Amino acid sequence: MKVILKILLVICGIGIAIFVGFIVMIQAAFGGFDKDYSVTELKENFEKKRAEIYEVKNYINKIIPPDKSVEIEFSKNNTLGIFHLKVGGKFESNWDVKINSNKADSLLQKLGWTTGTLKTLKEKLDNANCIGITSGEPCNISFQRSGMGMYSFNVFDKPIADSLKTAYNDGCTYIMVNDRLVLEYGGGAIGSQCFYNLE
């Protein structure tokens, strides 16, 4: 009986070690144990980079064809961590796309873009202290990652309709700053799904 108990304890210990190792590996793969940003820090960055954020928002919505939408996140090593497209209602997920690759060329062609378009977009995002963008209304501008989580700005052209204000101010995923700006935190597959620090 003692032998069976010892075997079970060893198996449980190995299982826990594998699970913890997996979590650490996932965290490292998505940027490590990064900084958590407060609502105040997001507001301060937005105010500091307001003109640049509006410039990148206007740019993406000017260059995107009317029947298409795009979500792009720039990663290290000349890679697009995310390059999702929606063309004619059909959504296409693309992860870790090398900028100088046949895959990137194919995706750019669908948008009528070039690598020069990506370079300009990257420069505008860098100027805004941001890493990614999703076209449309609202335009979602990715500020920074923390592990798998993403902090972002939802920037509206027109004031948010009263019927949407509750959804865009839930005190967890969304924090409404004013009727044209909503802060967002998406926690990814693991971890908290709410803002870590509301101050």
| Residue 39, both tokens | 């609502």
Residues 6+ away with beta carbon under 8 Å from 44 = none
CA 178, CA 194: separation in Å to the nearest integer?
19
Q: How far is residue 193 from each of residues 73, 109, 168, 185, 188, measured CA to CA in Å? A: 20, 35, 15, 7, 7
With vertex at residue 25, the alpha carbon angle to CA 19 and CA 30, rounded to the nearest 5 degrees, is: 130
What DSSP element (H or E) covers 69? strand 68-75
CA 18, CA 8: separation in Å to the nearest integer?
15
DSSP 131: -
Q: What is the pLDDT of residue 118?
A: 96
**What is the tally of helices (H) and strands (E) in the chain?**
6, 9
pLDDT tens, residue by residue, 99-141? 999 999 999 999 999 999 999 999 999 999 999 999 999 999 9
Q: Give the confidence band of 24 by pLDDT, cuts at 50, 70, 90.
A: very low
Q: Which long-range contacts (CB under 8 A, 24 or more apart) does 82-86 make?
A: 82/132, 83/107, 85/110, 85/111
Q: Give the confidence band of 76 by pLDDT, cuts at 50, 70, 90.
A: confident
Summarize the confidence of residues 67-92 as an average pLDDT. Answer: 94
SS3 2: helix
Q: What is the pLDDT of residue 63?
A: 97
Q: How far is residue 15 from each of residues 1, 3, 11, measured CA to CA in Å? A: 21, 18, 6
Q: Who has greater pLDDT, 17 or 188? A: 188
Q: Who has greater pLDDT, 141 or 195? A: 141
What DSSP element (H or E) covers 27? helix 2-29
SS3 78: coil
Nearest to 171 by CA among 155, 182, 181, 179: 182
